[in-house]
Amino acid sequence: MATLARPIISEYTRMPANVRRLDANDVAVLPLANQVVRVLSGAAWVTLNQDDIIVKSGEKITLYPDKYPPVISALDNRQLVYEIII
């Protein structure tokens, strides 16, 4: 009797809308709004009002942008997972 092969089902985890992921060397421009960014894993390089800030896993930062939107990127060649709280 022939056995049927089962299809391989890859796990897909749906992240909440306010949780975002950046791979190494990716950059994201955040909204021009007062907000809190909490790093869930990895480390973030945040540029805010021409200042560079490093935010590590478990830490959070409150962003008060001036005339330029904040920019966030993954640090140390690792994936970054962060949450935006408005």
Render pLDDT for 19-71 as a digit per residue (tens, 0 to 9).
999 999 899 999 999 999 999 999 999 999 999 999 999 999 999 988 999 99
| Predicted local confidence at residue 86, as pLDDT | 79
Beta-strand relationship, 27-29 and 60-63: unpaired
Greater model confidence, 34 or 5: 34
- Name the pTM for this structure: 0.78
| pLDDT at res. 7 | 47
Q: Where are the domains of the chain?
A: 19-85
3-7, 52-56, 80-84: segment of lowest average pLDDT: 3-7
Rg (CA), the chain: 17
Assigned CATH topology for domain 19-85: Jelly Rolls (2.60.120)
